[in-house]
């Protein structure tokens, strides 16, 4: 950890401590074998070398803990449709030993013994598990009382995963980088259920729900690849319309009760509303299954809220920054109750907030609000949160710049929601893709004209000299999938005209001209090379006149039915003339 990052972490802990709140933080980072195409590392929970790798991760992690660490095999989760409980490994140690400088003393005898039930864990003990999930190994970290402790633990987990040959990211054949596939959820709570900040400040959780609703960057900027109603953490306004309307009533009633709200009232009020489209309470952006749930016994009454709209970060610094953001938001909502009404975003939610630049602007508003409440994250943490993904292409031309970046796309569930509830994974149509185009010119300059597949793409000014648009298209033809007969826009053909010249830009989904890749990319450099070679740019003459006609590759302006405020949907349009 750099000295600047370290300083921001310590400053954050001091600010939260000054608020008088006890806010513990936990996480569930997930790792995969990015060099494997075997089912256990793509789609199923167990098999292959997954158990061996999970045990290797735990053995590598144990010496990085503190005090005397006891490793054991425990009885894992038994999911419907699976013949037996999944494997699970655990580590138990004295919480008072956390942070000691000398290596831990590790007792591994329990790893070779039969599986035993997980031990009861009190506030003086730390308990960590390593378990399987489809495509990944999941590390359920011991909750930490401070961000500094959380960051130390995260670094140890990342180092141990690397020693076990596991990665937080996956490189695809085409060079695209995606997260491990298992997400990176974060939880907030306290050392005891009764001490939970959600109970000592019962307006905190309703305030967080209002903040998440008003700032979609909290839902989408750090999300996994699959977002929207079919995701593992959909927003309340991405589900049933009537349920979202009832959430507003619920929050207003809780606000009227103020400090008199009990843990039972808080849970019974919110639990039926914080669910996905099928009514599943586990898949919700803010999951309250373990807040004060009488149906799960002690596991349900922990005073814990899980934040599920989080993908797996590349680094432990990224996980630390996200944890800092959530802790700061919780402290801010506790100190100054949030009573702003819910926003009904409508179509803008999946139009405007699909674009990375819009999400970053929204995050800056969140960070500014935290600073005004004395809970600013500091430049290193803020920079980690605000770092944009590498663009697909960046082209400079005569003082103007065109930047093309991957945007969020909202994949729908293919088939009936309820019929897929008992499956290990659900089927979505992932053929939709979205691109953000940003043209930057000197203030009051002309951004030129941008076309996609022959259609003129309207550019919306989003700041001095900055013009933005979203382009939605079909990246491949799925089977099964929606829209039979609809071809893919591969390559996606763009033209950017500035003055008397134009740049033709081809974005290929595979090797231009055909061919096959000789295996997965071996490292980040090879992945970047493959991404780069799929972008072909050449100079052409500008279209003149700018009218469609015989032999023209220009179709004209996009008709209203295929254009929202920001996004053009090419799937609703015929190709170029």
- Distance between CA 440 and CA 496 in Å, rounded? 12
Q: Give the whole-angstrom CA distance, residue 551 versus residue 217.
A: 44
Q: How far apart are the C-alpha atoms of 21 and 23, rounded to whole Å?
A: 6
Instruction: Identify the pLDDT of residue 183.
Output: 93
**Distance separating alpha carbons of residues 181 and 208, to the nearest angstrom:** 26
Q: What value, to the nearest 5°, has the Cα angle with vertex 226 and ends 321 and 79?
A: 95
For residues 313 and 184, give the distance between their C-alpha atoms in angstroms, rounded to a whole number.
7
Axis crossing angle, helix 379-386 with helix 3-18, rounded to the nearest 10: 100
Up-side HSE of residue 370: CA atoms within 13 Å toward CB? Answer: 26
Distance CA 534, CA 150 (A): 40
Cβ contacts of 238 within 8 Å, gap of 6 or more: 228, 229, 277, 349
SS (H, E, C) 26-70: EEECEEECCCCCCHHHCCCCCCCCHHHHHHHHHHHHHHHCCCEEE
**Spatial distance between the Cα atoms of 415 and 373, rounded to a whole number of angstroms:** 46
| Cα–Cα dist 500/315, whole Å | 45
Q: Is 156 helix (H, G, I), strand (E, B) or coil?
A: helix
Can you give the pLDDT at residue 420? 66
Residue 576 burial (10 A CB sphere; 0-12, 13-18, 19+) = middle
Spatial separation of the C-alpha atoms in residues 126 and 18, rounded to whole Å: 25
Q: Contact, 570 vs 452, CB < 8 A?
A: yes
Name the pairing type of β-strands 432-440 and 400-406: antiparallel
Q: Which residues, in sequence order, are CB contacts of 377 under 8 Å at separation 6+?
A: 8, 12, 321, 324, 325, 328, 367, 370, 385
Contacts of 146 (CB under 8 A, 6+ apart): 13
Core vs surface per residue 312-330: b (16+ CB within 10 A) or e: bbbebbbbbbbbbbbbbbb
Answer for the pair 425, 538: CB distance below 8 angstroms, yes or no: no
Q: In a structure prediction context, what are the per-residue pLDDT tens digits for the chain, which is 577 residues long?
A: 468 999 999 999 999 999 999 999 999 999 999 999 999 999 999 999 999 999 999 999 999 999 999 999 999 999 888 899 999 999 999 988 755 868 899 999 999 999 999 998 888 899 999 999 999 999 999 999 999 999 999 999 999 999 999 999 999 999 999 999 999 999 999 999 999 999 999 999 999 999 999 999 999 999 999 999 888 899 999 988 999 999 999 999 999 999 999 999 999 999 999 998 878 888 899 999 999 999 998 889 999 999 999 999 999 999 999 999 999 999 999 999 999 999 999 999 999 999 999 999 999 999 999 999 999 999 999 999 999 999 999 999 888 999 999 999 999 988 876 666 666 667 888 999 999 999 999 988 899 999 999 999 999 999 999 999 999 999 999 999 999 999 999 999 999 998 778 999 999 999 999 999 999 999 999 999 999 999 999 998 766 545 554 445 678 899 999 999 999 999 999 865 4
Q: Say if strands 393-397 and 305-307 run parallel, antiparallel, or are unpaired.
A: unpaired
Largest distance between two CA atoms of the chain = 80
Which tokens hold the place of 165?
């040959």
Residue 498 confidence (pLDDT) = 87
* Token pair of 325 as six digits: 């953001």
**275: exposed, middle or buried (Cβ count in 10 Å: 0-12, 13-18, 19+):** buried
**Which residues, 6+ apart, have CB-to-CB distance to 236 below 8 Å?**
209, 213, 243, 244, 247, 273, 274, 284, 285
Helix (H, G, I), strand (E, B) or coil at 232: coil
> Which two tokens mark 505?
């830009």
pLDDT of residue 553: 65
Q: Are 308 and 236 contacting, i.e. CB atoms less than 8 angstroms apart?
A: no
- 3-state secondary structure at position 386: helix
SS (H, E, C) 501-526: EEEEEEECCCCCCCCCCCCCCCCHHH
pLDDT for res 513: 92
Q: How far is CA 329 from CA 12, 358, 374, 381, in A?
A: 12, 20, 11, 14
Asked if omega into 50 is within 30° of 0 (cis), the reply is no
- Cα separation of 248 and 231, whole Å? 22
Please give the Cα distance from 392 to 176 (Å, whole number).
10
Q: Where are the beta strands (DSSP E) in 341-480?
A: 393-397, 400-406, 432-440, 449-452, 455-456, 460-463, 466-474
Task: Measure Cα distances from 109 to 137, 142, 163 in Å.
Answer: 22, 21, 21
pLDDT at 577: 44
Q: Which helix (H) or strand (E) holds 423?
A: none
Q: How far is CA 180 from CA 32, 51, 113, 172, 315, in A?
A: 6, 17, 30, 11, 12
């Amino acid at each position: 950890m750099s000295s600047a990052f370290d300083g921001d972490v310590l400053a954050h802990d001091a600010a939260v401590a000054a608020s008088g709140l006890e806010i513990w933080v936990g996480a569930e980072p997930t790792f995969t074998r990015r060099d494997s195409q075997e089912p256990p590392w793509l789609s199923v929970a167990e098999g292959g070398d997954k158990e061996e790798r999970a045990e290797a991760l735990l053995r590598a992690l144990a010496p990085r803990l503190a005090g005397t660490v006891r490793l054991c095999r425990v009885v894992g989760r038994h999911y419907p449709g699976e013949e037996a409980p999944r494997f699970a490994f655990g580590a138990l140690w004295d919480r008072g030993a956390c942070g000691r400088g000398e290596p831990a003393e590790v007792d591994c005898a329990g790893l070779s013994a039969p599986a035993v039930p997980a031990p009861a864990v009190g506030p003086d003990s730390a308990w960590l598990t390593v378990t399987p999930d489809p495509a990944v190994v999941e590390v359920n970290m011991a909750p930490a009382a401070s961000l500094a402790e959380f960051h130390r633990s995260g670094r140890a987990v990342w180092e141990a995963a690397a020693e076990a040959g596991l990665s937080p990211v996956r490189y695809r054949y085409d060079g695209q980088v995606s997260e491990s596939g298992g997400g990176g959820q974060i939880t907030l709570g306290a050392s005891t259920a009764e001490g939970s900040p959600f109970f000592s400040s019962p307006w905190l959780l309703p305030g967080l729900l209002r903040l998440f609703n008003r700032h979609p960057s909290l839902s989408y900027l750090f999300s996994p690849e699959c977002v929207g109603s079919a995701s593992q953490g959909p927003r309340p306004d991405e589900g049933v319309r009537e349920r979202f309307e009832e959430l507003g009533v619920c929050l207003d009633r809780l606000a009227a009760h103020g400090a008199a709200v009990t843990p039972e009232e808080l849970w019974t009020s919110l639990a039926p509303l914080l669910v996905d489209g099928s009514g599943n309470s586990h898949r919700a952006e803010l999951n309250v299954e373990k807040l004060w749930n009488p149906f799960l016994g002690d596991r349900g009454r922990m005073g814990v809220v899980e934040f599920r709209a989080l993908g797996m970060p590349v680094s432990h610094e990224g996980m630390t920054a996200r944890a800092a953001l959530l802790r700061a938001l919780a402290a801010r909502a506790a100190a100054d109750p949030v009573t702003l009404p819910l926003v009904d975003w409508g179509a803008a939610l999946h139009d405007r907030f699909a674009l990375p630049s819009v999400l970053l602007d929204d995050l800056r508003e969140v960070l500014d609000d935290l600073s005004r409440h004395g809970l600013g994250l500091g430049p290193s943490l803020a920079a980690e949160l605000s770092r944009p993904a590498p663009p697909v292409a960046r082209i400079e031309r005569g003082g103007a710049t065109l930047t093309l970046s991957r945007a969020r796309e909202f994949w729908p569930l293919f088939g009936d929601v309820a019929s897929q509830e008992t499956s290990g994974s659900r089927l979505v149509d992932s053929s939709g893709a979205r691109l953000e185009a940003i043209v930057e010119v000197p203030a009051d300059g002309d951004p030129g004209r941008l076309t996609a597949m022959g259609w003129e793409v309207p550019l919306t000014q989003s700041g001095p000299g900055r013009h933005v648009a979203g382009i939605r298209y079909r990246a491949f033809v799925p089977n099964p999938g929606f829209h039979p007969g609809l071809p893919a826009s591969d390559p996606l053909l763009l033209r950017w005209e500035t003055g008397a010249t134009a740049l033709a830009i081809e974005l290929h989904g595979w090797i231009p001209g055909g061919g096959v890749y000789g295996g997965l990319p071996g490292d980040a450099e090879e992945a970047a090379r493959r991404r780069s070679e799929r972008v072909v740019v050449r100079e052409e003459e500008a279209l003149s006149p700018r009218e469609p006609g015989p032999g023209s590759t220009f179709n004209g302006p996009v008709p209203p039915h295929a254009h929202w405020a920001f996004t053009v949907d090419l799937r609703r349009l015929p190709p170029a003339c």
